[in-house]
Structure 1
Amino acid sequence: MRDRYKNLTRTRALDPEQDYLPIYQTMLRHEFPWDMKLGLNLAFNRSFSIPAIAAVHVATGELTQRTQKRIDDTGLLMYEMVLNGFDQPRGRDALKRVNQIHRPYDISNDDYLYVLGCLVVIPTRWLQQYGWRRPCCHERQATHLYYRELGRRMGITGIPDSYQAFETWFDAHDALHLQPNDDAAAIERATRMLMLARIPKPLAPLGNALVSAMYDEPLRRAMRVDAPAWPIRAGLHLGLRTRSRLQRWFGTPRTTPLFADGINTKTYPDGYEISQLGPQQDHAPGRRG
């Protein structure tokens, strides 16, 4: 049991202000790999559902017509930055590509800030509810600081100065702007496969209901997704809480970090070039294709 908390002990010995990247890397690659990946998936699902943001994605067709590639490209760019930081060559190239991809679009600062807030708040809340332990204050602070730095390098302004402040801003913006819309519904139908892939095979027959149960009611309403029956919601909650307890009592720290052998995706089985990730020029706004 003592070894179960050795990464937490190391994290608490670090200074989040200076060491936010290694702390966040440890969360993703060692402490909560499955939960963090799922939490980030849920974060992107939510960010795609604000009407203004959903409209941009539907207009490009990237999520509705080239779904698997769009999902893989997003994951690769995000994980390259986490694995390498913003100043190492691959992380720097991924950040450059992210900025290139977004540059042609007329996206408001608040919309960028909301997406950033989803990445900060949604995975943290998942860990608080279903992680094998709750994230500590160092981990919450490191999460905020990592995405604050990402936002700064993307030119986003007005980023709240703490996790708690960002969470407060996020909840207020979410309550005001997460409204039912057809574009979000179209994106959810196209990207549901991403969540279905997270369902264990023995539960595959209940997959669609379990995916819907992972969404909270405001998100289901925005996506026009029906609420699953209460036994499904209760069963999912019980199953996830049981999993967290079993991991806490009987689990051991991961010895091989997530992505130790590289980031594998369906779209790029033979590898990828960071500069080629994202929409091609003929799919950019104002171009035919």
Structure 2
Amino acid sequence: MTPPTALRQAEEIYRRMAFDTFAQDLKMGLNLGFCRTFAVPEIARVLTATGPDDPAHPGPRQGDRRVDVSVTPEADALWAATRDLLAGRVPGVLGPLAGSAADSLLDEELRRALGVGRPAMPVRAATHTALRLRAATGRVRRRIRGSHRPAGMSMVQ
């Protein structure tokens, strides 16, 4: 197999995974990663001033230095808006629980920086179980629909 063919096949596998099988998972992961920027006061101020959809928004430039993270009114407003957005996507009576479930996806350092309390054990357990079920159903669905390999590509090259 020539390198250009291997590269095209790798790109096809990535596209299938990113835009089909794992599209919602990747989107949620990117959104949670973006939420980490809310804890950086300078970024939170810019985001609340320009709106989180502004394509010119900055990202944290950590490099070798420690980035200052702290509770700010801007970070609080951004996280509250994110929780409301998530609650709007969860159907029916589970909607009000979405904010607490979202809180349980944050690590301890980020919860402290955003001023978010640790969710109750039943909420953390339910969120963990929901994620495990989502992963299991995704594996079953992939087995039913087939492989991510492009046609003609064997397992060992």
TM-score (norm. length: structure 2)? 0.69
Q: Does 1:233 align with 2:119?
A: no
The one-letter code of the counterpart of 1:58 is T
SS of 1:58's equivalent?
helix
In structure 2, how many angstroms separate the alpha carbons of the residues matched to 1:237 and 1:211?
Answer: 11
Residue 181 (1) aligns with residue 72 (2) = yes
* Structure 2 Cα separation of the partners of residues 113 and 24 of structure 1: 27
Structure 1 residues 228 and 20: CA distance shift in structure 2, 3 A = same
Out of 231, 235, 248, the position equivalent to 2:139 is 248
Q: Distance in 2 between matches of 1:14 and 1:202?
A: 48
Tell me, in whole angstroms, the C-alpha distance in 1 between the residues paired with 2:92 and 2:18: 24
Q: Is the 8 A contact 1:48 1:54 kept in 2?
A: yes
Out of 81, 85, 102, the position equivalent to 1:190 is 81
What are the equivalent positions in structure 2 for 1:196-215 lying under 5 Å apart? 196-215=87-106
Instruction: Please say if residues 199 and 207 of structure 1, whose CA atoms lie closer than 8 Å, have aligned partners that are also in contact.
Output: yes
Mapping of residues 60-209 of structure 1, within 5 Å = 60=50, 62-63=51-52, 70=53, 98=55, 101=56, 111=59, 113=61, 176-209=67-100
Give the greater-gyration-radius structure (CA).
2
SS at match of 2:117: coil
Counterpart check, 1:44 vs 2:25: no
- Asked if the contact 2:87/2:99 (under 8 Å) is kept, the reply is yes
The 1:204/1:112 distance shift into structure 2, 3 A limit, reads: closer
Report how far residue 232 of structure 1 moved.
0.7
Structure 1 residues 19 and 219, CA gap change in structure 2 (3 angstroms): farther
1:81-128 alpha-carbon deviations (Å, 9 max, x no partner): xxxxxxxxxxxxxxxxx4xx45xxxx6xxx4545xxxxxxxxxxxxxx
SS at match of 2:18: helix
Instruction: Write the deviation string for residues 103-158 of structure 1: whole angstroms up to 9, x where unpaired.
Output: xxxx6xxx4545xxxxxxxxxxxxxxxxxxxxxxxxxxxxxxxxxxxxxxxxxxxx
Distance 1:192-1:208 versus aligned 2 partners, 3 A rule: closer
User: Counterparts of 1:250 and 1:22 in 2: how far apart (Å)?
Assistant: 19
Bigger RCO (CA 8 Å, 6+ sep): 1
Structure 1: stretches of 5+ with no match in the other structure: 1-12, 64-69, 75-97, 115-168, 255-289
Matches of 1:253 and 1:202 in 2, distance apart? Answer: 32
Whole-angstrom distance in 2 between the partners of 1:38 and 1:59: 24
Unaligned runs of 5+ in 2: 147-157
Q: Structure 1 residue 198: deviation in Å?
A: 4.0
Quote the offset at 1:24 in angstroms.
Answer: 4.3
Task: Label 1:40 to 1:197 Cα distance change in 2 as closer, same or farther (>3 A).
Answer: farther
8 Å Cα contact 2:87/2:98 also seen in 1: yes
CA deviation string 1:219-243 (max 9, x = no partner): 2212112221011101210221122
What residue is the counterpart of 1:284 in the other structure?
Answer: none
The alignment covers a number of residue pairs equal to: 141
Q: Secondary structure at the match of 1:226?
A: coil
Q: Calculate the TM-score normalised by the size of structure 1.
A: 0.41
Distance (whole Å) between structure 2 residues aligned to residue 27 and residue 113 of structure 1: 29
